Structure 1
Amino acid sequence: MTKFDTPAYQAEKDFKDYPDLKNQIENAWSNYVKYCTVNSQMGNPWSSTYDHPRSWYFNPLVTPVVPVKNNTVPIQWGAFPNRINYYFTTLFIDSFGKADAPDKLHELADIGPGAFSKKYGIALAVAKKPCDPTNTETKPFGPSGPRGWQDEYCEWAVTRDADGDIIAVDFTHENPEYWFHMWKVSPDMVVSLYQEILNNPNVQQEDLYLLDENGNPVIVRETGQPAYNPINKWNNGPSATNEGGGAVHLTSPPNSLGAEIYLGAAATILRVDDKGNVITDPNQLICAAQYGQIYRNSDPRIGQNVNSLVYNNKLKISLTNPIALYGQLPDFTQFKMPDSAEGYKIEDCYKIIRGTDTNPGSTFYPFNMILHSRFEAPAGAKFKLSEISVKGSLIRWGSQIADTFKVQLAGTGIPGGGDTPQKYPAVGDPEVTLPSVQYVLDNNLLQASLYNRLNTFSNLTSCITQVEAGITTSGIAILTSDANKETGFDFGAGISVSVTDYQDLGNDNQLFIVDITVHSAAVLGEKPLALFNNASDPKYSIAGVLEVVAPGSLPKLNVTPNHKLLSDQQIKQVQKMLK
């Protein structure tokens, strides 16, 4: 294996008529997944104990293995947000009655906690620290975002007619990172795909721009083009109309590919309790390893399945290429068509928009590789989607359909080779924390991202920051934790960093605005970054934050570097997203 493939090999379809662009997106994507893999193998040596290294998670680019049926297993979970069921079933039975509670749970999954609380006057609070049963503090139900609560790597948007009846539901499992990389390669292709996926010619390129506080597009230094806003008007919220809304790709902050890979690697470490017994309960594992969110379907299932393969089968694990989240075919037996269907079957109301129900690749991948699907009545049919029943009830909410299918990833194992699996106590706090890198990006992009509340409502760009050899690039923002004003930056030979502005953000977080100077003879390529407070500090690097490119590779822009520090409101946002 020489590269990671795009999800469901989708780039081969998206760029089939543009071979040069296809090569660009495939190379950029493979590099991104590689960096996620390397960082996930590293774990967290900066601010945690017993979380580094994760030697039982292997990189298939380094340790070649061909996925086949007998070394690859599917890991599946329900698409309906399980935290809704866990936290609110009893409350809704008490508030609405046992007969109506299921309908209200489905409504909450569709419209979200803000709209639901406003409609019914019910506060939706959950445990602030669910891993600590002695802590009685609560917080509003989340995560935040236009579809933040749909956190099982499945998000959907419902289209209704003038009578309020459902006529279509779009389900997406596509990670946002692929779309960031595709935008960097070809904004025109992204616009074309939006129009195709949403079946809406009204989508315009400027609709997808990330705007600053003055309403102007934020220009990306590496491309000279406006930046991409993942929660733009056409990929925003749980409803869709001809004027806005829709579900193109995932937006909920937990629903990222990087989080998936990191969780998979974290789960390869066996955890023991204070009596030395290996922990196997899925939620206890999450609390001990501090990955993911307990009471979800996805995180506990992924963690438990990966951990079990290490514990019971003594296998080293990697997520299976092409790494992605894939929807599975619904259980069509749970639907009943109306008398007006006149021969139509429920399968006629289901269409795969992106991805496939069969693996088109040359290596094994179990079951379906669906990235985007749609339920709607066929053209010319004399019935609406709302006349179909599922599990005995007419379809009123998209979440009723989500209740009939699963989401999947897969893991491939190799023998441990006689090694003993890592077995550690629960993750803890070290005596001395080391400075760590959170983000490296142009400050104008950081400022606009915070203004738009990305990474609180969605995700910041996942594209690597590029600088040219032989010049100094100014206005680069580096967000850190546990650093100080004298912290050093090590990108390796031929690269120097000069701090021009510094801001203590509180809660052990810092912002550095820096100039990065690259020697003309510096080796091109990706440059991991290590921070150090003291010369004697161990230097643990994070990969995929900076790339040195050849002189003249980037456009020459007449743009003044941004040295603006964060406002009080922006500082609160950073504290929230880095806590």
Structure 2
Amino acid sequence: MSVNASTIAEFSAPGNLNELTPANRSTWSREFISKWMNDEIEGNQQGRTPLSQFFNGTVTAYEVGQAGVNIVWNGFPNRIAIRFGNNDERRWKAADSSRDVQDEYLEWSLIRDNENKIISVTFTCEGPEYWQFLGSDQRDTLVSNIYQLNSPLLDGVDKRQFFSVDPKDPNNEKKWIYNPNNKFNSSTTTGTITHLVQDANTLGAEIDIAAQATVLRKSRSTGKPVTESDQLIRCSRYGDPDRNSDPRIGFKINQLALTGASVSIADPVGLYMHEFDTSNFKLDPTGDGESLQDIPEGTFTFQRGDIHKQQGLRLKIQIPAGIKNEEGRQLTVSDIFDTKEEKHIAFGAQFADYITMGVHGVAITGGRPAPAEPCLRPAAVAASAAFEDVVPELRQKIKDQASPFKRI
């Protein structure tokens, strides 16, 4: 072990956000990130076994300042890409249709004007568990963040609409339970979004995939090693093999484990936008694709997280007020032209093609790999609990809600 190895005092909030109280920082680290990791290490979930090559950085010393390994994937939903192939318009439209299909740990919502032009589109990759924690332990911060991040669209909205309220005692805020699937955080057409809500898009899922991928596998029938990404995810039964993210995370972690390294997720544990490639975008004030201009400063804004550290959490895209064409019309996101595709922006999903998602792995090298274990049988692992299980009555709540979408 390196002489520079040490444990970390506690896990930070995602993106090193500086909004938790000291007590809540400790609670987040101890009762969420650290607990999830310890549960994986101890094999506490049904069908799991204890892990020898996954570690918790608050317990096990490691070289904290190491470069580590970036594990990246494209933010556009691969399951949609598989279904619609090379038909860009159909896949973009499908990806914009529902948050349920935005399953690469990246979700978005947009709002249009009366001419169907996109006013703004906002992307998030923040896990729901962190926001549920705010809702239970630091509610004022939760409410303030929701209003601030979604202004002016939520100006004047009663905060109780973000919660499940006891109808028999509606004014007793102590009985309010934060509803992660509230109508302002579940639609693709309101322009409002706070955090991830798709069932598989959770921090717990990220940790589970990384942890279980440290288990070396072999074929149950032939005994040969299983290392190819698609075969590995099916063999270990973590995540979804049709996503961009899960097989990639599992493969990269497993490759480290094959060397004998013990592996973990770097602090701050989170799901991040690592890069947003804007080089193909130009502003087209005339609409002919010929009189192109540079994108105005302030069009692409990372509102949370630090994209320069590959830790972007929230991206808002909107042409700044006052940027008009010669006829005096305020220009919109739909006036952005993609020079690579030679198309104007008509869907938020077009930007997802250019967003690289990622997590950061760290390792303790120099160990010996554990013996490979046979592939799991189909019924060996219980289905992972989605984050809505924290408040069971919220499950499916948004499915039948009418959209609050209104044009501006």
Q: Shorter chain as normaliser: what TM range?
A: 0.7 to 0.9
Q: SS of 1:409's equivalent?
A: strand
The one of 402, 412, 416 equivalent to 2:352 is 402
Give the whole-Å Cα distance in 2 for the aligned partners of 1:354 and 1:155.
15
Aligned position for 2:369: 420
8 A Cα contact 2:273 2:310, kept in partner: yes
Matched, 1:30 2:29: yes
Shift of 1:218: 11
Matched, 1:293 2:279: no
Q: SS of 1:67's equivalent?
A: coil
Aligned position for 2:406: none
8 A Cα contact 2:282 2:293, kept in partner: no
Matched, 1:230 2:227: no
Aligned position for 1:385: 333
Matched, 1:249 2:195: yes
Q: SS of 2:322's equivalent?
A: coil
Aligned position for 2:224: 277
TM-score normalised to the size of structure 2?
Answer: 0.84
Shift of 1:9: 1.2
Q: In structure 2, give the amino acid aligned to 1:68.
A: G
Give the whole-Å Cα distance in 2 for the aligned partners of 1:111 and 1:434.
31
Shift of 1:68: 2.8
Q: In structure 2, give the amino acid aligned to 1:29.
A: W
8 A Cα contact 2:182 2:398, kept in partner: no
Q: In structure 1, give the amino acid aligned to 2:28.
A: W
Per-residue Cα deviation, 1:448-504 (whole angstroms, up to 9, x for no partner): 3347379x99xxxxxxxxxxxxxxxxxxxxxxxxxxxxxxxxxxxxxxxxxxxxxxx
Q: SS of 1:354's equivalent?
A: strand
Give the whole-Å Cα distance in 2 for the aligned partners of 1:331 and 1:347.
15
Which structure carries more strand by proportion? 1
Give the whole-Å Cα distance in 2 for the aligned partners of 1:435 and 1:150.
24
Q: In structure 2, give the amino acid aligned to 1:394.
A: H
Residues 435 and 253 (structure 1 numbering): CA distance in 2 closer, same or farther, change over 3 Å?
closer
Shift of 1:421: 2.6
Give the whole-Å Cα distance in 1 for the aligned partners of 2:202 and 2:125.
10
Shift of 1:346: 5.7
Give the whole-Å Cα distance in 1 for the aligned partners of 2:354 and 2:389.
43
Matched, 1:181 2:133: yes
Give the whole-Å Cα distance in 1 for the aligned partners of 2:218 and 2:227.
9
Give the whole-Å Cα distance in 2 for the aligned partners of 1:217 and 1:414.
52
Structure 1, unmatched stretches of 5+, are 16-21, 90-97, 113-146, 359-366, 458-579
Give the whole-Å Cα distance in 2 for the aligned partners of 1:393 and 1:437.
40
Q: In structure 1, give the amino acid aligned to 2:215.
A: I
Shift of 1:23: 1.4
Give the whole-Å Cα distance in 2 for the aligned partners of 1:252 and 1:436.
16
8 A Cα contact 1:327 1:369, kept in partner: yes
Structure 2 counterparts to residues 202-351 of structure 1, below 5 A? 202-211=156-165, 224-240=174-190, 246-273=192-219, 274-311=221-258, 313-339=259-285, 344-345=294-295, 348-351=298-301
8 A Cα contact 1:268 1:307, kept in partner: yes
Residues 339 and 415 (structure 1 numbering): CA distance in 2 closer, same or farther, change over 3 Å?
same
Shift of 1:256: 0.5
The one of 6, 9, 12 equivalent to 1:2 is 9
Report the identity percentage. 30
Structure 2, unmatched stretches of 5+, are 1-7, 325-330, 402-408
Give the whole-Å Cα distance in 2 for the aligned partners of 1:408 and 1:87.
24
RMSD: 3.1
Q: In structure 1, give the amino acid aligned to 2:29.
A: S
Matched, 1:65 2:62: yes
